[in-house]
Amino acid sequence: MKMLPKLEIACFNLESAIIAEQAGADRIELCRHYDLGGLTPSELDIAEATKKIKIPIFVMIRSKADSFVYSLNEIEQMKQSIAFCKKHAVAGFVFGALTKFGEVDVFACKELIDAANPLPVTFHRAIDECIEIEASIRTIITLGFKRILSSGKANSAIEGIHQLKSWQKKFGQQIIFLPGGSVRSSNIVQLMQNTACSEFHSAAVTNDSGNCDATEIKKIKQLILQHA
């Protein structure tokens, strides 16, 4: 039986997470600060979300917004966030770390993966800032990440569609590619048909509130069902 593509919704507060579940999301990426691209959510939101929501919750672990290069102290802070999340039975994590040379920071990633073990981990859009992209993908696979969230090294997934298609064809048997970056009902069919990816990531934000839009999520899900 063919598996339907899954829809992950980035939620920047507890209200959005509840909306996303009710609208039919398959998974939630819980974070905060939509304007900064997502940071680690508050402990209160993590605790409340895991009490109220039944679908899988992956938590963004990102301690700052200015770069993906982390100090030892920042890595320890992120490990503490992971430990808190595990106590509250989250389903997985989303993080990524780079060196100042635009390479995957193997040491930092290993530290965070070990802290997250045995839960699955997604390497987020830090991948789009890597210099040698395919070498970085191979490193991410070797490290044990289960997914890569990417816009195809472009401003949006639709702009990076050809790159995403190429990576999916080359590495899709080894890791799940999760197209993200302005994924909406207006382009989900094009992304599905052209990338052959099996999971998609959207914030489903359609106004200035920063909250996801239930109607938009339902539209995306409907189109996935129609065109799968």
pLDDT single digits (tens) 161-189:
999 999 999 999 999 999 999 999 999 99
Quick one: how far is CA 80 from the chain centroid? 20
The answer to the question of residue 97 being in a domain is: yes
CATH code, domain with 140: 3.20.20.380
Spatial distance between the Cα atoms of 206 and 209, rounded to a whole number of angstroms: 8
Range of the domain at 107: 6-227
Confidence of residue 2 (pLDDT cuts 50, 70, 90): low
189 in a structural domain: yes
Residue 213, domain member (yes or no): yes
High-pLDDT (> 70) share of the chain, %? 99
- Give how many domains the chain has, as a whole number: 1
**pLDDT value of position 37:** 86
∠ CA 120-81-112, nearest 5°, is 45
Residue 121 lies in a domain: yes
Domain assignment present for 1 = no
Complete DSSP assignment for 36-71: GT-BPPPHHHHHHHHHH--S-EEEE----SS-S---
Whether this prediction's pTM lies above 0.85 is answered by: yes
